[in-house]
A and B are shown apart, each in its own frame.
Chain A
Amino acid sequence: MGKILMKGNEAIALAAIKGGVDAFYGYPITPQNEVPEYLSKHMIENGKVFVQAESEVASINMVYGAAGAGVRVMTSSSSPGIALMQEGISYIAGAELPCVIVSVMRGGPGLGNIQPAQGDYYQATRGGGNGDYNLIVYAPESIQETIDVMKSAFDTADYYRNPVMVLVDGLIGQMMEAVDFDRPVEKRDLSLKDWATNGKKNHPGKRNIANSLHLGAEILEDHNKNLKKKYDRIKENEVKYEMINMDNPDYTIVAYGTMARVCRSAIKQLKKKGIEVGMIRPIALWPYPKKAFDEIPSTCKGIMCVEMSMGQMLDDVQISNRGRFDVAFYGRYAGVVPEPEEIVDAIENFEEWRVE
């Protein structure tokens, strides 16, 4: 196929098809509308299911149903829409069903605006819904990486029987870059979905139930213990991050998604000024790459967390740092994307941005 120039949202849609999606349910919202737009044309012509539901609440419950029936299913939305879906996401996680949720973040809180932002880190990694559950959350930094993540997301979701969220900001959704859809991605050994509620002819003599309701306290506790075991397994195996220029940095930046790319440019500018700065770039936000922080050389003068939010991943940075280094935070939010020069300035005035 070679490299083609493509808009991020459309690339997400095509990558989902390449990843084997069978059904899409969603409701329009900027800045992710090109995802359903593209799929509305290409799912039908490939004999797959596309439904524009009446709301986000309906969409996620359609996802719940389709996931229960064992098909590869996804939805896509943006911040306020993802907020509406939280009940359904919690049910899907509780019922241990696989699905892929694309979240293209915009400014908040509330309806906010439609510009790029990263204010939904908590929503994605802390569970916006109720109960003890986790999503596997990926935060790619480019359209290419988004494609690679999307292509393998359905395998990952099936493997763990858990929702996978692909978290990008509006900039990745709206920009165009040259991308390659043929890059190989990791394939997993998947067992048959013998748990699917797809009719007894597919599992004779066995009654399958997709459910998140367990009224007996001990029964639910046992269920949650099993969930915990699964989450521990994910924490053990699915940490994904990149270390950039981390041999002997004066400072270490921690950033993800679009923000990491802006920081890459800042790091180059700082190098010209004689300041060596490295970066820990989480690719999976949950599970968080805590162990990466152990690799920061003791000569480092401090950690600077940079986000397009008021400081949400900062919590995980401080937990992972365990008080070892001084921590500073620089953020622009509500739809403002910081320029590399701002990060350069923030590093040069580290003390000013220090947090307790």
Chain B
Amino acid sequence: MAEKTIKVAGFGGQGVMMFGKLLAYAATKEDRYSLWFPSYGPETRGGTANCAVIVSDEVINSPVFRNASHTVVFNLPSLEKFNDRVEDDSLLLYNASLIEKEVKNDKALVVGVPCNKIANDLGNPKVLNMVMLGAYLALTKLFSADVIETVLKEYLGDSKAGMLDVNKQAIKAGMDFIEDAGISYA
């Protein structure tokens, strides 16, 4: 697998960092190389938050990259910030619950997922990031649902073990959304 550069962005509280960390943990679990790097500047306070993840089968050199193989945006400011920073034939996933305007990108397959709505329907608005993760995994097939479930369980730990089921349901709902829509990506 060629190196995948992944940008995840939204505003604080949408679970952007957790989305990225789960990918990095999953890669470690599979003995692949990964790197996670958060934006940790003043913009994380109430504004946009983003993190970068790199997953590769080879040693990762530069921790910074110009264009992303996969871009995941949870709100409009993030879309505007990262819409131009995508690789050719890349994937752009956006949260259609908060981004209502038409999203155009010549270089990427653009897929809108109504994350807030699906999460609300599941009864827990907080798991909107896991809805998106499900959709992301269904499209990219970067990791199996099993590996993600394992790292999710470890990530939540004992203190948040009660949250495991609803997070798993959210991932499943995101996967189902992509399947029902009949969208596939490379």
CB distance from B179 to the nearest CB of A (A): 30
In the complex with contacts A174-B37, A176-B24, A264-B66 CB distance below 8 A: no
Query: B21 to chain A: which residues have CB within 8 Å?
Result: 176
Q: How far is the CA of A176 from the CA of B34 in the complex (A)?
A: 8
Pick from B24, B28, B62 the residue with the most CB of A within 10 Å: B62
Q: How far is the CA of A170 from the CA of B37 in the complex (A)?
A: 11
Indicate the size class of the contact surface on chain A: 20 to 34
Once the chains bind, are B28 and A178 in contact (CB under 8 Å)?
yes
Once the chains bind, are B34 and A261 in contact (CB under 8 Å)?
no
Query: A227 to chain B: which residues have CB within 8 Å?
Result: none
Query: A30 to chain B: which residues have CB within 8 Å?
Result: 40
Query: B41 to chain A: which residues have CB within 8 Å?
Result: 113-115, 335
Once the chains bind, are A265 and B34 in contact (CB under 8 Å)?
no
Once the chains bind, are B63 and A178 in contact (CB under 8 Å)?
no
Once the chains bind, are A175 and B37 in contact (CB under 8 Å)?
yes
Once the chains bind, are A265 and B62 in contact (CB under 8 Å)?
yes
B25 within 8 A of A: yes
Instruction: For A264, give its contact among B35, B40, B62 (CB under 8 Å).
Output: B62
Q: How far is the CA of A175 from the CA of B24 in the complex (A)?
A: 11
Q: How far is the CA of A177 from the CA of B52 in the complex (A)?
A: 12
Instruction: For B36, give its contact among A31, A175, A258, A268 (CB under 8 Å).
Output: A175
CB distance from A11 to the nearest CB of B (A): 13
Pick from A176, A266, A335, A341 the residue with the most CB of B within 10 Å: A176
Instruction: For B37, give its contact among A3, A5, A171 (CB under 8 Å).
Output: A171
Once the chains bind, are B64 and A339 in contact (CB under 8 Å)?
yes
B1-58 interface with A by 8 A CB criterion: 21, 24-25, 27-28, 31, 33-38, 40-42
Who on chain A is nearest to B29 by CB? A5
B159 within 8 A of A: no
Q: How far is the CA of A9 from the CA of B33 in the complex (A)?
A: 19
Once the chains bind, are B63 and A258 in contact (CB under 8 Å)?
yes
Query: B60 to chain A: which residues have CB within 8 Å?
Result: 177
Once the chains bind, are A262 and B24 in contact (CB under 8 Å)?
no
Pick from A31, A175, A262, A338 the residue with the most CB of B within 10 Å: A175
Q: How far is the CA of A261 from the CA of B65 in the complex (A)?
A: 12
- Render B109-126 as a binary contact track against A, CB cut-off 8 A, 1 for contact: 000000000000000000
CB distance from B73 to the nearest CB of A (A): 20
A101 within 8 A of B: no
Once the chains bind, are A177 and B31 in contact (CB under 8 Å)?
no
Query: B33 to chain A: which residues have CB within 8 Å?
Result: 178
Once the chains bind, are A340 and B62 in contact (CB under 8 Å)?
yes
Query: B40 to chain A: which residues have CB within 8 Å?
Result: 30-31, 114, 170, 174
- Interface pairs A-B: 7 shortest CB-CB: A265-B62, A264-B61, A175-B37, A176-B36, A265-B61, A262-B62, A178-B28
* B residues lining the A interface (CB < 8 Å): 21, 24-25, 27-28, 31, 33-38, 40-42, 60-66
Q: 14 interchain pairs (CB within 8 A)? A: A3-B31, A5-B24, A5-B34, A31-B40, A114-B40, A170-B40, A175-B35, A176-B24, A177-B35, A177-B60, A178-B28, A264-B61, A339-B65, A340-B61
Other than the given A262-B62, A340-B65, 13 more pairs (CB < 8 A) read A3-B28, A3-B31, A5-B36, A171-B64, A174-B40, A176-B35, A176-B37, A177-B34, A178-B27, A178-B28, A178-B33, A264-B61, A340-B66
